Amino acid sequence: MRRTIGVVGTGSYLPGTSVGNAELGAAVGVTDEWITRKTGIRSRRRAAQHEATSDLAAEAARSALAQSGITPDQLSYVVMATSTPDHPQPATAGIVQHLIGATNAAAFDVNSVCSGFVFALSVASGLLHDNPDGYAMVIGADTYSRILDYSDHRTAILFGDGAGAVVLGPVAESHGLLANRLTTRGDQHGLIGVPAGGSRLPASATTVAEGSHHFKMDGRGVRRFVEDSLAAEVDALLTSASVRREDIRHFVPHQANGVLLTDIWPSLGLTNATCHLTLEHYGNTGAASIPITMDQIHRDGLLTENDLLLLCGFGGGMSVGSSLLVWTATAYAHPPLAMAAAHKES
């Protein structure tokens, strides 16, 4: 019998070091006011020197496990969305599986860049539908500070480091994940990327000298892609699920750029929904941005039983992933310790 799968726990981790616009702006040659006006971002977190993506992900996963009451040995899958893995191989998910003690879980990575969490959520929920006893840990985690070109003020100002996670498991009928929609426009793959370090352009002294291991983005092209794609993707998802726009209560988008999100928000027609933004304090955390935001609004008590959530991610590839879920109330008596500690640094 196919089970109804939903979110039974959330968690997140933000590194303790906060980098404000004044500090970053001085380094890249722009002002605090310019960054805020262009992006809506005021600060972002930066991983400590000893922290890799797997470390951030493991902290978020532990937080989600603690909140859900699920033990690591109950996990059947650890699915990790990241475009900044610890190494080209092995999969970072395997490292996280070891760090959290999920000894019974198969672990693998998904790389759809900033839309990766929604892609991973869709894959994990599909695996669980026919698994009578399984739970899945779905994580989005990125450490973009390690691949940024700090001479490029257009990209260096946008990104922060962090991780978010959800535990998926059985929920009551009429709750949980209702529908997913995943699309990719491979003809637009050149808009976002890290050119070197793969089989196309292996690492060499030349690629390092040319800065080809840094993140590159055509900002105007990305904006056009989002403006042209997002409303149509939302419409297609809602139509397929027979859900009315006015029934959506929470919109949780990828936290790409506050100005972009504010500009496209009216076109979505979600008149009864709240658009949740956390980028002011955390910046664009890549695949982590949606689960970090979900955990924050959960922790803040903004989600109630039967609320309908729409998650939308968009990123390199170019890809768009969107999910609809009906919330199942879960107890959240106190914030995760990792998140609470990070907030003290703000």
Sheet containing strand 135-143, edge to edge, reads 5-13, 161-170, 135-143, 75-81, 106-110
CA distance 125 to 177: 8
Which pLDDT does position 3 carry in this prediction? 78
Q: 321 near 138, Cβ under 8 Å?
A: no
Report the DSSP beta bridge partners of residue 142. Answer: 162
CA-based radius of gyration for the chain: 19
**pLDDT mean for each 10 residues of the chain (346 residues):** 85 96 91 94 96 98 94 97 96 98 97 96 93 91 96 92 96 89 94 93 94 92 92 94 95 95 93 95 97 96 94 94 90 46 37
Q: 216-217 and 192-193: which strand pairing?
A: antiparallel
Look up residue 78 and give its amino acid.
Answer: V
Of the chain, the end-to-end C-alpha distance in Å amounts to 47
**Domain 1-346, CATH among 3.40.1280.10, 3.10.180.10, 3.50.50.60, 3.40.47.10:** 3.40.47.10
Tokens 């029934």 locate to 247
pTM, full prediction: 0.93
Instruction: Spell out the domain ranges in the chain.
Output: 1-346
For residue 185, report the phi and psi dihedrals to the nearest 5 degrees. -115, 85
What is the DSSP pairing of strand 250-253 with strand 274-275?
parallel
Task: Please tell me what DSSP assigns to residue 86.
Answer: S
The residues annotated as belonging to the active site are: 114, 254, 284
What span, in angstroms and rounded, lies between the C-alpha atoms of 65 and 72? Answer: 7
